[in-house]
Amino acid sequence: MKSASNALRLTLKLAVSLVLVAWILHVIFAGEAELQLGEGWGALSFAEQVRKSWTIGPVGLWKTISGVSLGWLLASFVFMGATIFIGVIRWRLVLAVQGLHLSLGRATGISLVAHFFNSFLLGSTGGDLLKAYFAAAETAQKKAEAVTTVVVDRLLGLFAMLLFVSLMALANWGVVMSQQRFMAVMLVVLGMLFASGLVVVLSFWAGPTGARRKFEALLAKLPKGDVLVRCIEACHAFGEKPGFLPRVLGWSMLLSMACVLQIVALGFGLGLPMGEHFRVLLLIVPAIICISALPITPSGIGVRENLYVWLLSATAVGIEAKAALSLSLLAFAGSLLWSLIGGAVYLAFRSRHSLD
């Protein structure tokens, strides 16, 4: 009976993986087909777009990739992997505050599976739902705390990247003030920074202890209120841990830099003048990642590409729109390749209690 159940579970995982891999490939091919057809893409019906994606897309993808220097292509792939690995290190720091010590290998496996599911869920953070699920499955006694670590890790990662963008805006003040498109992006970024910063402050340092205890007592009366109270108490632990916030923000800043270097490597591979625009790219790339994280489209598809074209084709940068789109699609393809690795990990993934 147990072997039959395991076989069924593996079959379901394989089916899910195949469907998601097909989706990932379709997204890549659709982007390439749109790049080849230009304005004619929007006039096609959905069925025609699917057909063109799988006929024109593979050829277009090969043509785009073959036009990139292999060394720079591999460098961009490494930088993309570095962002995932740095994220694992940061999450383990967050886990440690709750007394949850997950091995580097196990944390990496869960993060790769989450990255796999990020490829089709809304925004670029949808896979965190799966990450939270698997994190909770790792412990029998601290499930609420384990789930909280995933939320806090993502919150601090977003806050740090928004802060990074704001600092880079000061370094590129003339560029920001020169065109309305940069000003509009910065307004969105500053709004997100204020909102995320407010959540961090309220979560980590939620006012006087007496008022907080009364609020938690009211929450405890709600259905599953005890779980909410445990999540709130878990958040307070982060504010009480000396040196925690600077360490997490430091790793997050390094992650932001790796994201920029991935784009720079691809740009050099395409023969684009990335060196002379490096400072402004420190502003543009993280800003696009932050805005794409909003749950607007699956994996931020469309939002990200339009932002790359809109910002990189500005007179302050001057990259041709078609080249900017190619750059965006290649960067996304690199992320999806790591998603395929996450899919392979998902097939072999087993939940276990190991944190108590």
Token code pair at residue 196? 């995320």
Residue-by-residue DSSP string for 58-112: HHHHHHHHHTS-HHHHHHHHHHHHHHHHHHHHHHHHHHHHTT----HHHHHHHHH
pLDDT tens-place values along the chain, 356 residues long = 556 665 676 577 667 666 766 776 677 677 778 777 877 777 788 888 888 888 887 777 777 777 788 899 999 999 999 999 999 999 999 999 998 888 899 999 999 988 888 776 654 555 778 888 888 888 878 888 888 999 899 999 999 999 999 999 999 999 899 888 899 999 999 999 999 999 888 888 865 565 566 656 665 666 666 667 777 778 888 988 889 999 999 999 999 999 999 999 999 998 888 888 899 999 999 999 999 888 776 666 677 878 888 898 886 777 887 788 888 888 888 888 898 888 888 887 766 655 54
Give the start-to-end residue ranges of the domains of the chain: 67-348
CA distances from 26 to 14, 29, 114, 120, 303 (A): 18, 5, 20, 11, 17
Residue-by-residue DSSP string for 210-279: HHHHHHHHHHHTSTTHHHHHHHHHHHHHHHHSTTHHHHHHHHHHHHHHHHHHHHHHHHHHTT---GGGHH
**pTM of the shown model:** 0.80
Residue at 281: amino acid letter: L
3 state DSSP class of 298: strand
Is residue 286 within 8 Å of residue 254, measured between CB atoms?
A: no
